[in-house]
Amino acid sequence: MGPGNRPLDLEWLEDFLALAESGNFSRAAQARNIAQPAFSRHIRALEEWVGVDLFDRSAHPAALTAAGRRFQPLLEETLAQLESARIKARAAHDQAAASLLFAATHVLSLTFFPQWLGGLESQLRLGPIQTISDSFHACEDLALQRRVQFVLCHGHPEVPGRLDEAEFPMLRLSDDVLLPVSAPNASGDGAMHSLDVAKAAKADAAVPVLAYSEPSGLGRIMRARMRQVFGEGSSVPTLAQGVDIVFTAHHAALLKAMALEGRGVAWLPKSLIVAELKIGALVPAASAEWNVPVEIRLYRQRAEMAPAAEALWTLVQKRPPGSGGR
């Protein structure tokens, strides 16, 4: 005998335990609510799968063989583990269905998201929350792959992203602004690196700029806006000698750290640098014309979501922009 190519049917395992308990094919078949001939075939099929006899049919009642006695406790443990796994899997599924799944860009996960979420929790029981903090491009991927329900990110009306192109529903939660900032100069009366001063003085040296990399949503916005800010014939101020991109990263927090070290001008979200502006650790590197207004947005899946997620979306729709967060 041998298993050959026959698959194992879990029903056979339950039949085995029923027969091992009663020792009688007829009673075991009745307990399993199956006709005795079919029950007997199941036992024989299991023995063929194992490769040995599990019952001594010459005994009355039918008795387990040595192989059957060894098989029984292992089988009982296996079935118990399978049942436990089934229960845990269903519990995980139920929890995931009830969870709120967010992807948030790095900067908003540190600044806007905690306070905004706290404001919602005062009005709605949210349940379990899972948040992934990543680059804008990665957050878009998570939404497009339907691995999250919501994406929290910066956006600009003139710079559509992949979620806009895919017509994901969107709400504007609040407004922010990208400010060109620099470390202060040695005398503390201005910026170490100034776009306005460079323009006025027609300085030979280009202004060092700390830029966002390709996966960054802020970088996507700034690349679109930079064509206007530094382009020929623009209605906004232009630089005679241009700029020199000396450092690139997709984390605004890293660009902030480099700006604090005096490495150049960075366009940073005001929500990220409120404290540094207040104490003068960072100062404006240009006049207000160089600022880039942006929106703080919440995107959702197009398809119907779990009830908890739909309840959150309904609540957010009723809240005016700017309520919650910085």
pLDDT beyond 70 at 325? no
Residue 3 lies in a domain: no
Residue 15 lies in a domain: yes
Residue 1 lies in a domain: no
pLDDT digits (tens, 9 = 90+) for 104-143: 999 999 999 999 998 888 888 877 888 999 999 999 999 9
What's the confidence (pLDDT) of residue 144? Answer: 95
Among 22-26, 92-96, 215-219, 242-246, the range scoring the smallest mean pLDDT is 92-96
What's the confidence (pLDDT) of residue 226? Answer: 66
DSSP string, 207-276: EEEEEE-TT-HHHHHHHHHHHHHSSTT-SS---SS-EEEEEEES-HHHHHHHHHTT--EEEEEGGGSHHH
One domain, residues 17 and 117: no
Please tell me whether residue 28 adopts helix, strand or coil conformation: helix
One domain, residues 196 and 285: yes
Residue closest to 272 by CA, chosen among 158, 143, 129, 154: 154
pLDDT digits (tens, 9 = 90+) for 202-221: 556 778 889 888 788 898 88
Residue closest to 136 by CA, chosen among 223, 230, 209, 208: 223
Give 59's DSSP letter. S
| CATH number of the structural domain spanning residue 41 | 1.10.10.10
One domain, residues 145 and 74: no
Average pLDDT over residues 62-84: 93
Q: Where in the sequence is the domain holding 121, given as residue range(s)?
A: 98-175+295-318
Residue 324 lies in a domain: no
Residue 16 lies in a domain: yes
* pTM of structure: 0.68
pLDDT beyond 70 at 239? no
| CATH number of the structural domain spanning residue 142 | 3.40.190.10
If you search the block for the tokens 């959702």, which residue do you land on?
A: 300
What's the confidence (pLDDT) of residue 121? Answer: 84
b/e code 36-59 from CB counts within 10 Å (16+ = b): eeebbebbebbbbbbeebbbeeee
Report the percentage of the chain scoring pLDDT > 90: 60
Q: How far apart are CA 99 and CA 17, in angstroms?
A: 39
Residue 323 lies in a domain: no
Q: How far apart are CA 299 and CA 131, in angstroms?
A: 14
How many domains is the chain built from?
Answer: 3
pLDDT beyond 90 at 196? no
pLDDT beyond 70 at 156? yes
CB 295 within 8 A of CB 157: yes
